[in-house]
Chains A and B, each alone.
Chain A
Amino acid sequence: MKKIGIFDSCVDTPEEIILAADFVPYRFFSDPTVEIDKVNEHIPPTHCMWTRNLLEQAINGLDKDIIGIIASHGCDRTNREFDIWIECINLDFMFFLNTPLKNDETALKFFINDMKELIFQMEEYFNLKITPANIKEAIRKMNQIRSFLKEISEYRSKMILKGSEFHALVKYAQTQDKDEVLEKLSSKLEELKNKKPFSNDDLKKILLTGSDIDDTELIKYLESLGFHVIIDDLGVGTRYFWNRVDENDEPIRALAKYHLNKPIYSTKFPSYKRFEVLKNLIENYNVEGVINIAQKFCEPVLYDHPYLSKKMKELGIPYLFIEVTYNRESYKQLSTRFSAFAEIISR
């Protein structure tokens, strides 16, 4: 099946529109094993490691089924680098979706217009029809996926499902054919219902926040040090499925409202409200510590860190802030800090 690539630092792209056009939404993820080379001719090394990695992969060659790309306004990176993608990638269908910074009536109206433009351009370029009925059907399908993921996510706090396993599952959901995703999630749920909790004596139950961490190996590494990601507020995590799209509303409007009302991320205004999201998760999931991981040069997360640090202190919850480079070897260099944090939680 043909795919539409998604360049998005904030899971703001309405996958339902892509599904309604009968394409597979395929979110780009980075790969720390990729050697960075060609991108150095386009983006300085002091810019976001994650987007540099994505562009490197894209220059090296996209999946042959990808026939177009949608980028969403997440941060300054997606904004500014979109034009460079146009320069480097040989695809005719490239759309920049200006997802609003704010959440109010004016922003909602604008977002609806921008989605309508996306539909118009897709219809025109691919010579197809994206009908409200098709979008509604896609919304139902995506809501089903969201429900499954939400239910499966709870098995993390039941100490039945590992955080890394769940993380890989969310990535799978964001890249594969949605019917296959539904099938896989359904069988996973059945499997989990019959599974017994693993021993949790020494595991430190943490909430993972920060940049949209997409390397499952990093979560596995945390697990190897005795941490268990019980909950998160990431795009490769709960932000992808926490809310549902209203199936009774006009579909484009419902999609716009859904995206504007998702748990807030550091790229949106006012981002300090992200603390409220984290606070609720901390209280509802008996979190023992918060790990905030920023990809190197991830500015929105770097701006939020001192505020979050202050608020977590007020809340009396152990908090660790870590900057990581996109290199698995570098994870190991952080072991002392992680171990010290585990000690703090144990006290």
Chain B
Amino acid sequence: MSEKKTKKTGKMLNATYGLKNIMGRHFLAIEQAFREGKPTAWATSGSPVEYLYVMGVQPMLPENSATVAAAQKYSKNFIEIAEDEGYSYDLCSYFKTNVGAVVSKAEMSKGGTRKPTFMLSTDVICDTHVNWFQVQAERFNVPHFTLDIPHVVSNTNKRQYDYFKKYVQEQLHGLVDFIQEVTGNEYKEEKAKEVINNSWDLSMVWQDIYNLRKEIPCPISTRDTFGGLFPLFCMPGLKEPIKLYKRMYKEAKQRVDNGIGALKQEKYRLMFEGIPFWHSLKFFSVLEQWGAIIVYEPYTYAFSKYMNPNVTKEYLLSNPIDAMSELLLSFWYVYDLKTRIKKFAETVEQWNIDGVILHENLSCRPNSCGLYDLKRHLMDDFNIPCLIISGDMNDPRKFNDLQVTNQIESFMEILEKSKKR
């Protein structure tokens, strides 16, 4: 890739720079809890992290740490350490980054993490999460609680949904008992209300920010959302990130009011499906060279979690376990194929999207599954230009710069033709 092509043209919000401080404080809180012997837990993304905050447990999300390692170019080394331990080239690169980081006792700033008091996983996104924490819980010899979330498929009916929900509810009660048993900390309703309020507010501001992306020109690029996403994972329940998101919103709103976009010249509005390549974020700068801006990523939007219209703030506050069960079963990121297609088509319309780039993630098979059918339906039924590129979220060895750039060039030509029609 030439120097010229990787030149940055987009503008990040000033407020987004504040993310560094917020994340710094999060890592500090982990270090402090670890030093003081306070309860800590690893949690997989998609887990109800709120419960950890409610019960005085400091959460750590190794997936976030893995992305930190990739962005700083440490992930390849960590992955190779894991492969030396016998983990296959084909397994999840987040998992292997985490194994390598733990084995090499990496610092937190480089993608390392700390031994937790216990681990909390769920198969809501993938079975890999459960396998991953099983491996690491065995290594650290710490207790591990997993939430088994029934898989909602295209033909799941209401009756099934109801007993699925009951199953999740019972497990959430089990989780509370487990945390109490391991840490001695109790579930307190007042604290639960405070955490839920904060988690809700955090998500709502994020959704407000997302709604601003509907504007033309779009005021926000992936520079803000890819990094800005992390508080949704690690800090749902705290006040600080809400303030940050509000600042991001305010600044983006000002841009909208003044007709300023994140790109100087916005030509194409795109959707990006899948986990970003954290090791090669410059790819997104390549897009900007073409006047293309990504205005929607299901990945970063999904984690604002409160999107199910049945789950209101009142419902959450009055019956948190019930509401959380509903949310775990209706998570945007794992929609069944039929709903996924419908949701994509709606999003394309609402966000004025010209084309969709789908990331066939070589080590995240659950996310890549269904991508071909999704693409076909979007193209055939809705006439939406789509491009599949293959790569890997954390393993730079599986990302071919030149090939992806060539694919993008061709895709831009298709978009150009499609706009002229």
Interface residues of A (CB under 8 A from B): 41-44, 46-48, 73, 75-77, 79-84, 86-87, 94, 96, 98, 100-102, 106-107, 109-110, 113-114, 117, 267, 269-272, 294, 296-297, 299-300, 302-307, 309, 321, 323
List residues 326-379 of chain B with CB under 8 A from any CB of chain A.
Answer: 336-338, 360, 362, 365-366, 368-373, 376
CA distance A314 to B188 in the complex (A): 46
Return A15 CB to nearest CB of chain B, in Å. Answer: 21
Q: Which residue of B lies closest to A98 (CB)?
A: B150
Judge whether A306 and B148 touch: CB under 8 Å: no
Instruction: Give which listed residue, A80, A100, A302, contacts B91 with CB less than 8 A.
Output: A302
Q: Compute how far the CA of A309 lies from the CA of B84 in the bound complex, rounded to whole angstroms.
A: 13
* Residues of chain B at interface, number, CB under 8 A: 50
In the complex, are the beta carbons of B174 and A44 less than 8 A apart?
no
Complex CA–CA separation, A325 to B393 (angstroms): 25
B-side residues, CB < 8 A to A, are 85-88, 90-92, 123, 126-128, 130-132, 134-135, 138, 144, 146, 148, 150-151, 153-156, 159-160, 163-164, 166-167, 170-171, 174, 336-338, 360, 362, 365-366, 368-373, 376, 390
Q: Contact: A98 with B151, CB < 8 Å?
A: yes
Alpha-carbon gap, A79 to B376, bound state (A): 21
B336 to chain A, nearest CB (A): 5
Shortest 9 CB-CB distances between A and B: which pairs? A306-B86, A83-B337, A80-B369, A110-B167, A101-B148, A303-B131, A98-B150, A302-B88, A113-B163
Q: Which residues of A have CB within 8 Å of B155?
A: 86, 94, 96
Can you show 7 pairs from A to B with CB atoms below 8 A apart? A43-B372, A44-B372, A80-B366, A84-B337, A302-B88, A303-B135, A306-B85
Structural contact, A272 and B134, CB atoms closer than 8 A: yes
> A41–B374 Cα gap in the complex (Å)?
11
* Candidate in B90, B135, B164 with the most chain A CB atoms within 10 angstroms: B90
Tell me, rounded to whole Å, the shortest Cβ–Cβ distance linking A243 to chain B. 21
- Whether A100 lies near B148 (C-beta < 8 A) is yes
Closest to B167 in A: A110
B369 x A84 contact (CB < 8 A): yes
Contact for A299 among B91, B159, B337, B371, CB less than 8 A? B91
Minimum C-beta distance from A292 to chain B (A): 11
CB <8 Å contact, A271 and B154: no
A83, B134: Cβ atoms closer than 8 Å? no
Pairwise interchain contact B127-A76, C-beta atoms closer than 8 A: yes
Which residue of B has the minimal Cβ distance to A87? B373
CA distance A71 to B154 in the complex (A): 13
Please pick, from A41, A107, A302, the residue contacting B372 in the complex, using a CB distance under 8 A: A41
Beta-carbon contact of B362 and A46 below 8 Å: yes
- A197-B21 Cα distance, complex, nearest whole Å: 74
A47-B153 in contact given A83-B336, A101-B148, A303-B131 (Cβ < 8 Å): no
Task: Please state if B163 and A110 are interface contacts (CB–CB under 8 Å).
Answer: yes
Q: How far is the CA of A234 from the CA of B376 in the complex (A)?
A: 37
B365 touches A269 (CB 8 A): no
Q: Which residues of A contact B167 (CB under 8 A)?
A: 106-107, 109-110, 113
Given contacts A79-B151, A94-B155, A100-B148, contact A270 B370 (CB under 8 A): no
Inter-chain contact A83/B163, CB cutoff 8 Å: no
Q: How far is the CA of A100 from the CA of B146 in the complex (A)?
A: 12
Whether B164 pairs with A98 at a CB distance below 8 angstroms is yes
CB <8 Å contact, A83 and B153 = yes
Majority DSSP secondary structure for residues of A touching B: helix
Tell me the minimal C-beta distance from B388 to chain A in angstroms: 9
Known: A102-B148, A106-B167. 8 other contacts (CB 8 A): A43-B372, A46-B368, A76-B127, A83-B337, A110-B166, A267-B127, A299-B91, A307-B135
Whether A302 contacts B90 by the Cβ 8 Å rule is yes
* Contacting pair A306 B366 (CB below 8 A): no
Q: Which residue of A lies closest to B337 (CB)?
A: A83
State A302–B99 Cα separation when bound (angstroms): 14
B153, A46: Cβ atoms under 8 Å?
no
- Is A117 within 8 A of B154, CB to CB? no
Q: Is the CB of A44 within 8 A of B138?
A: no
Q: Contact between B88 and A323 (Cβ–Cβ < 8 Å)?
A: yes
Residue of A nearest to B367 (CB): A80
Chain B contacts of A269 at CB under 8 A?
Answer: 130, 134, 146, 148
Least CB separation from A83: chain B residue: B337
Q: Say yes or no: A106 contacts B90, CB within 8 Å.
A: no
User: Are the C-beta atoms of A81 and B369 separated by less than 8 Å?
Assistant: yes
Inside 8 A of B127's CB, which chain A residues have their CB?
Answer: 75-76, 79, 101, 267, 299-300
Q: Contact between A297 and B151 (Cβ–Cβ < 8 Å)?
A: no
CA distance A120 to B362 in the complex (A): 39
Contact B154–A107 (Cβ < 8 Å): no
In-complex Cβ contact of A47 among B92, B368, B373 (8 A): B368
**A330 CB to closest chain B CB, in angstroms?**
16
In the complex, residue of chain B having the shortest beta-carbon distance to the beta carbon of A105: B170
Q: How far is the CA of A106 from the CA of B373 in the complex (A)?
A: 35
The listed residue with most B CB atoms (<10 A of its CB), out of A83, A84, A86, is A83
Chain B residue at minimal CB-CB distance from A102: B148
Judging by beta carbons under 8 Å apart, are B365 and A299 in contact? yes
**B80 to chain A: closest CB distance in Å?**
14
CB <8 Å contact, B128 and A299: yes
Query: Whole-angstrom distance from the CB of A186 to the nearest CB of chain B?
Result: 39
Q: A299-B365, A306-B87 are in contact. Are A44 and B371 (CB under 8 A)?
A: yes
Contact B146 A305 (CB under 8 A): no
A307→B85 CA distance, assembly (Å):
10
CB distance from A222 to the nearest CB of B (A): 22
CA–CA, A100 and B88, complex, Å:
26
Kindly report which residue of chain B lies nearest to residue A305, judged by CB atoms. B86
Q: How far is the CB of B227 from chain A (nearest CB, A)?
A: 28
Closest A residue, CB atoms, query B169 = A106
Whether A73 pairs with B151 at a CB distance below 8 angstroms is yes
Q: Which of A109, A300, A307 contacts B138 (CB 8 A)?
A: A307
> How many Å lie between the Cα of A48 and that of B167 in the bound state?
29
| Set of chain B residues within 8 Å of A267, measured between Cβ atoms | 127
Shortest Cβ distance from A78 into B: residue: B151
Chain A neighbourhood of B91, CB < 8 A? 299, 302-303
Residues of A within 8 A of B156 (CB): 96
* A305: chain B residues within 8 A (beta carbon): 86, 88
Residues of A within 8 A of B86 (CB): 305-306, 309, 321
Q: Decide: A272 near B138, CB < 8 A? Known: A79-B366, A100-B148, A302-B91.
A: yes
Please, which residue of chain B has its CB at the minimum distance from the CB of A323? Answer: B88
Bound together, the chains give a CA A296 to CA B365 distance in angstroms of 13
Min C-beta distance of A28 to chain B, whole Å: 18
- Kindly list chain B residues whose C-beta atoms are within 8 Å of the C-beta of A113: 163, 167
